[in-house]
Amino acid sequence: MARSKTSKKGSKKEPSPEPEEYTIGRILSHRRKQGGALLEYQIEWAGYEEDKPTWEPEDNVGEGPIVEKYWKKCKTPLDRYTPGSKAYRAAAKALKDGDSPKKAKVDPSPKRKARKRASATSDDEEAAEEEQKPKKRGRKSPNGAKKVVEEVEEQQEEQEQEQEQEQEQEQEQEQEQEPEAEEKQDDDPGVRDDVDGYEHDDERPVCTDWEEKYGDKASWENEVKTIETMVQDDEDTKLRVCVVWNDDSQTWLDADEVRGRCPQKLLDFFISHLKWRR
């Protein structure tokens, strides 16, 4: 870039010296003026780093390695192009595709677009002509409509009758199955009611005189063979334990009493029912 200096003394004119050449040190920033039409660079001149940088228009700076280096590092590379121009749109598309703005290609020629528009307009005209053509209208016979309505009503009645028959059959089957289930529960030979009010296995006899046999003993560890099961009373929410004695007889007792007389057997019962996770 060149700058010229002139001086005037009275009416005499001195010959203008040759313009001094300034070398760009680096580009600090850029801006656009006149509504985005004019691009200016903030220049730091080589050898004049102490002086204040100046703003220079794009035409004065031109192109070169310093300009390219600046735009490569710039975070807003689209500012290099005039907004709304073909170059701007091409650069924006290139950035969107992950390409460099410098390699962006301009959109296809407007002639091809014009052809596409012409074909589109011709299609629209054909569609409009078809709409303007008079449409044929058919007459509906009243007798035919009545027949259709009657057929639909008959089909609905048949479907309703079929549904009612199916519901009646289902109800009859349910009524037949209920007494069979009750008979199975009553005739189950595997369990029976004990005098204590709990169910016992018929394969084992019930020990009704356990108080006479074991009531005076402080420990039942040697008298109890195993603990069969444990349930909770619905009325007082207490736990009841089915104790199997060494003679294979069984008795339902309070869990508190079993815990005091044979805690090890009770602990073995709980351990046997634990589910371990690996």
Domain membership of residue 34 (yes or no) is yes
Q: Does residue 29 sit in the same domain as residue 52?
A: yes
Would you state the pLDDT for residue 45? 87
The total number of structural domains in the chain stands at 3
233 falls within a domain = yes
* φ/ψ (deg, to 5) at 54: -120, 155
Q: Quick check: is 134 in a domain?
A: no
Q: In this model, does residue 218 exceed pLDDT 50?
A: yes
Q: Are residues 44 and 67 in the same domain?
A: yes
Domain containing residue 45: CATH number: 2.40.50.40
Global confidence as pTM: 0.32
Question: What pLDDT is recorded for position 51?
Answer: 81
Residue 207, domain member (yes or no): yes
Interval 140-178: pLDDT, tens:
555 666 777 788 888 888 889 999 999 998 888 888 887
Supply the pLDDT for residue 193.
46
**Cα(63)–Cα(61) distance, rounded to whole angstroms?**
7
Question: In terms of domains, do 37 and 87 share one?
Answer: no
Residue 46 lies in a domain: yes
What average pLDDT does this structure show over 94-114? 55
Radius of gyration of the chain (CA): 52
Mind giving me the DSSP string for 10-55?
TTEEPPPPPPEE--EEEEEEEEEETTTTEEEEEEEETT-TTSPPEE
In terms of domains, do 60 and 101 share one? no
- The residues that bridge with 26 in the sheet, in sequence order, are 44
Q: Is the pLDDT of residue 102 over 70?
A: no
Does one domain contain both 34 and 81? Answer: no
DSSP label at residue 77:
G
Q: Which of 47, 42, 76, 79 is nearest to 61 (CA)?
A: 42
Contact criterion met (CB below 8 Å) for 4 and 19: yes
Among 39-43, 81-85, 192-196, 224-228, where is mean pLDDT lowest?
192-196
22: left (phi over 0), alpha (psi -120 to 50) or beta: beta
Answer whether residue 128 shows pLDDT above 60.
yes
| Domain carrying residue 53 | 19-74
